[in-house]
Structure 1
């Protein structure tokens, strides 16, 4: 018997749960189906949230032939068979899973068929198509992002599966306790495929236990939290170290620390830890320390680097301890992006301005003939003067007076740096005017 998630696959758009921004009344995919003006499309989002369901429902609503292939594992010959069917019948809907892994040979074969309309392609992927899919395919498809399912959507799908006697579990007369239903929804983490298949295992295995205990198999089957917990997998993280979800997660992690939300930062750290990707955590934490805290609290930056070294030395699970220490301190620390802003402004000048030559007195003199070129002439050695400082021009003539560093003074340390910077800049200007 096929899994419950397969059997409960929707046959019309009205049976799809969630994704109302695409298939709800008046929304774009429903409009395409009702107007019988389908075009090729790419559906992307996390696993188990309705990509295959929408493709199946579109096919069921339009009565076109529906075929499913995998871009990574199915051959060009299988694509040719689908194409032949499309040529014969006029149109065939092809759900191509993992479309981001479509190689050039298959892509070149598909492109003219998409142009002619013999194949209506519905590509499914967990990757961001703007990054992972070739422009040639993208340009011939509309791109739709699917949203994670809300708990209400998952709950609706569970209830439908429990009522359906033809394809679902209606013949088992099942009732879930509130705690069992809540656990099932939470552990599925929005993945409806995982949720429904976990539900089926709970129902079938619990029924076998009741029969083995001598109870009437026609009695109502009540599944409690303990029985459900023994039948479902742990929460999946939808994590792919090379995928779009990875970048979203590390982005949320950094923005939470930058925004001084300690609890959110710890939550995203926990998700990264659960994925097991210590390399990404350490790299991102180091970036955060220098980019977002920086000169406002150099001690916290140093502490973060020590925590990263400790985490790399310890490995998981103990690495979570120094990482948590660093995250909490960085989140609660005063913030400053003055250093990254300064270097980015300097880089912008280097890329886009005529910054001119280095002043002759600053040029290297450690080779024969340098003096004849005038290199080093007039250079004043700062350590030969009071307070180890003297006013002299260091920037090229084209950039004299340019200021890149704009300290905010968000902490005592940066306020001190700001004061010193302003004093030196003023002294430099006065000294050069003499």
Structure 2
């Protein structure tokens, strides 16, 4: 009992069955696959992935509670193969056991090889929990034997419901205390935890247990108390997790889509993660990949902003970064540079190269004249306009076009005009 009493509030408030689960209705709602599996008692091994504090362990325990199967929990790193053997032995004696394996993406080969046959015979129902993308981080042998389910951060209403439930629960929650939580404090807990219900619940418990008790035994939780106990909301882009890459992706796509407000929002999230090297690298890529020839000077201006940001460091680095993001977002867009070189690379990698025309080969090539080749190179600077029509591509690619100009800016419209004139002249050869 003492161990239970010492458990954090978030742990004590875990649901006993799937009907008590808050959120994740795509999995546990009336038509959710996990509810259907529980209802028919046809459980298969599964992997839950998503950010911390969103219910991976809670759903696993709720499945066990709803099916009345034994539930055991191990960590892929800290627990040994011997610990797993004990659970296998238990399953052989008593029937199916649900094993929640935290950090399953860090499961080593020896432990994996030990578990696989027991997953095959159905004695162990494995529920792996990870914050990493299982399609990248988990061994295919485990993936192929498990259903993969993504869990999402809880919204503010979900967290508010969890907080209210904890405040009124007499046995597991804070119902035994006489607590008054101001609306502003409740809103702070619900919003600043950023979808992490564990963080919200444990901050609420800290606020209650550390609060002054009035003469009438009232514990009054104010906004200041909430801010003190949840000083910094859980951030949805820690720089070592998959969520970080999601934010980076949204950042680039917002700039590409010219939504400056969304781009600034994701920039702010990345700044809070403190990963300046990744931010500046992505900005430089964007300036050439997505703005490119539509604003040829954007790359150099972005580089100047990056160098300023790196010299300043945070927090001042946010200023040149913001300037670069605003310019890139609102600049005309062209991806013609990346699509052109990728098209050329694609041909090379397919073996589409061919012999370089003789007249383009080095004029000092010693064997050329001896072989009787007519070099025939025409020097463009000796011709009007600095251009003369002649073949540059190998014969097998003679009419190949890689550069497809965009017309989103005056600069590339000018490039297009020159390009079209050159193509027209070369077609007459």
TM-score bracket for the superposition, by shorter chain length: over 0.9
The yes-or-no answer on 1:220 pairing with 2:218 is: yes
Counterpart for residue 111 of structure 1: 116
Counterpart for residue 282 of structure 2: 284
The size of the alignment, in residue pairs, is: 424
Counterpart for residue 46 of structure 2: 41
The match for 1:395 among 393, 396, 402 is: 393
Counterpart for residue 314 of structure 1: 312
Counterpart for residue 404 of structure 1: 402
Counterpart for residue 200 of structure 1: 205
The yes-or-no answer on 1:73 pairing with 2:78 is: yes
Q: Give the distance between the partners of 1:404 and 1:368, measured in 2 at CA.
A: 33
CA offsets, 1:276-317, max 9 Å, x none? 111110111011100110111112222111111111222222
The match for 2:323 among 303, 325, 331 is: 325
What are the ranges of 5 or more consecutive residues in structure 2 without an aligned counterpart? 1-5
Q: Give the distance between the partners of 2:268 and 2:237, measured in 1 at CA.
A: 12
The yes-or-no answer on 1:250 pairing with 2:248 is: yes
The match for 2:296 among 275, 295, 298 is: 298
Q: Give the distance between the partners of 2:181 and 2:236, measured in 1 at CA.
A: 26
The yes-or-no answer on 1:55 pairing with 2:70 is: no
Counterpart for residue 233 of structure 2: 235
Note closer, same or farther for the CA distance 1:274–1:366 as it changes in structure 2 (3 Å cut): farther
Q: Give the distance between the partners of 1:272 and 1:374, measured in 2 at CA.
A: 63
- 1:361–1:374 CA contact under 8 A, matched in 2: no
Counterpart for residue 383 of structure 1: 381
Note closer, same or farther for the CA distance 1:170–1:345 as it changes in structure 2 (3 Å cut): same
Counterpart for residue 423 of structure 1: 421
- 1:292–1:335 CA contact under 8 A, matched in 2: yes
Counterpart for residue 2 of structure 1: 7
SS of structure 2 residue aligned to 1:298:
coil
SS of structure 2 residue aligned to 1:254:
helix
CA offsets, 1:159-190, max 9 Å, x none? 11001010100011222111110001111111
Counterpart for residue 3 of structure 2: none
Within 5 Å, give how 1:113-192 maps onto structure 2: 113-192=118-197
Counterpart for residue 85 of structure 1: 90
The yes-or-no answer on 1:101 pairing with 2:106 is: yes
Q: Give the distance between the partners of 1:163 and 1:428, measured in 2 at CA.
A: 81
- 2:363–2:375 CA contact under 8 A, matched in 1: no
The alignment's TM-score, normalised by the length of structure 2, stands at 0.95
Q: Give the distance between the partners of 1:9 and 1:376, measured in 2 at CA.
A: 84
Q: Give the distance between the partners of 1:240 and 1:164, measured in 2 at CA.
A: 33
Q: Give the distance between the partners of 2:99 and 2:390, measured in 1 at CA.
A: 71
- 2:182–2:222 CA contact under 8 A, matched in 1: yes
- 2:207–2:226 CA contact under 8 A, matched in 1: yes
- 1:364–1:376 CA contact under 8 A, matched in 2: no
Q: Give the distance between the partners of 1:234 and 1:258, measured in 2 at CA.
A: 31
- 1:202–1:231 CA contact under 8 A, matched in 2: yes
Please, what is the CA RMSD of the aligned residues?
1.5
- 1:364–1:370 CA contact under 8 A, matched in 2: no
Q: Give the distance between the partners of 2:294 and 2:360, measured in 1 at CA.
A: 32
CA offsets, 1:404-428, max 9 Å, x none? 2111221111111111111122122
Q: Give the distance between the partners of 2:325 and 2:374, measured in 1 at CA.
A: 48
SS of structure 1 residue aligned to 2:404:
coil
CA offsets, 1:59-80, max 9 Å, x none? 1111111111111221111111
Q: Give the distance between the partners of 2:186 and 2:106, measured in 1 at CA.
A: 36
- 2:199–2:234 CA contact under 8 A, matched in 1: no
The match for 1:13 among 4, 18, 30 is: 18
Note closer, same or farther for the CA distance 1:147–1:375 as it changes in structure 2 (3 Å cut): farther
What are the ranges of 5 or more consecutive residues in structure 1 without an aligned counterpart? none
Note closer, same or farther for the CA distance 1:53–1:383 as it changes in structure 2 (3 Å cut): same
SS of structure 2 residue aligned to 1:171:
coil
